[in-house]
Structure 1
């Protein structure tokens, strides 16, 4: 390896330089303060855990996204977290053990073996909120509202809310009675939105014409509010679980439209994001300028069961690095500091500390240095008192 190669970072792994880091940290503080006003408590799970608890219940996709190492103390396999959702569920179920609704929030780095999309980072800074202990649709509405408020507080406009419900596909799949191999093939085709392949699989494996017709219709049930009216007709013969899911989608849409009329609402009834662990509503926020969802989430009631408490749960997360891409670049903060001379004068030190306590940036010159380029003011001694003057 040459010296020129030593500064290279792995693909998809970035560092944030001062201006970007300041933006991200300011945004992190602002959003965690926002969550505090909504009653969400901050938790800080560890960067790595035993894979037995870190990956439980999240499906094969998350397992493949996890970097694994061997613990030198125990000999057990540990994983560097690719997602913090399971960690937060463990904290709620095993550590807090509270009854009733529990609201938790978090922010921290995660690591992926591969980027989720071509433009995605492999080292996101994940920030999110989770609500445990309440199975009502009101919890989903609160979490979705907080997700949208997160984007608003970040300065992001023209937001589209994408709504789906995995119970619809699950219910139809149960009625179809497919073999495991056919289920996986159909799931893969739905993920790719391949209508021709979906129709061929359904025609070959679904014997009941009515169920086949409803499953084929799923790929076309996407768009505005009219989709729910169309679904009510097309899926009228489906079971109670499907009807309840459609009713939940309608209630969420009504609530969000009333609270945030500027948000565009889009429905996709074949959306299977997080299918292996989500149990109900799934949702994502889209914004112009980013080729992926800027935030997403859903209901995942079964995750806490493996930690001894089957708690209802819903939540969302976003990547602060992705949010940064949508924000305007800030001007370099080169004129917001005070230069102080290099001196052992105790009165000077006290003046510097007093200014810093007031939130001022004070840079003291070092050795032979006579000025600091980042400063527009200076501390000067006038009649025995240190005062701030223009530089």
Structure 2
């Protein structure tokens, strides 16, 4: 990511968190921005046309299990926010956090359901605080759940990103979650994402609500050191100040702090808007349709971290760095890594077909198709044969022979191992 993306206090946070750990700067920064956004609720807002945008980003960190250190990136950030919440005790209730287990839309809504009192003075265990920070370390499981018939997880996730009320559309539903403020930070491997994602996930608005970020382990640290308590507390004080500014007097109140663009920011935004909103083909284009709204949202978050309700050009510049990294991540995962995965599948099929031809010299294409039709598509079989015949040197040779029935038409092709 361009250095502009680590604006203000975020630069200090990632420096501290990665000084003696293997955590990725990108992952640390995403955890920090997600935690801050969840903590401040719906008080800060900006108008975009007739719509209202709150600080409610969804991040999806994509990297190798155990090697990209997606989980490690949470530790320092969590210590800072625990200390910041301790400083804010009495000013706002503790942020509800949920770690893993996204499986149904009803479960997500139920955790922040409205508080309803009964005639006897009791209540349903609901809440007036609709803030929720979800860290889903097994996002592949959530994607699998969302793809099941009658599962409401996908539409519910789309609704909470939009900030719309969750209410089960069933007769005699006894609960609703009004004005939710949910932030999600998901973790997944590239292989899982490529395997689990369908065109529906991209085009339905499910995955394109997530800022997809590719993360890797940047260095080796055999003996990570614990960050000093004084350093954590100094960062926590700055975070607490930014939170106080953003939430005002009541964290449960909505739309209390209007965030606007300065005149210089308006010019800066309009200058970058054509490139930002340019359409892209294919799956990347489907996943990047929300770059404009996310750029405005992230610029607002950077302004709030600076303790101001006025977005300036550096805040937009920081947001653009995130959008550019998001775009590069999507292209890398769904073009470079997808092509590599396809090549590996092709090589696997080629190895199996080569072994079959070696055991059955002079076999026909029909023989090969019948042997592998339950494992590979016709396109994969054709691709594997082309790979074997066009390698240097060729591993398979072929011969065209007349049709056994003597009739006119395409001659039969027989294969041997070279």
Question: TM-score category by the smaller chain?
Answer: under 0.3
Larger RCO (CA under 8 A, 6+ residues apart): 2
Instruction: From the two aligned structures, give the one with the greater strand fraction.
Output: 1
Relative to its length, the structure with more helix (as a share) is 2
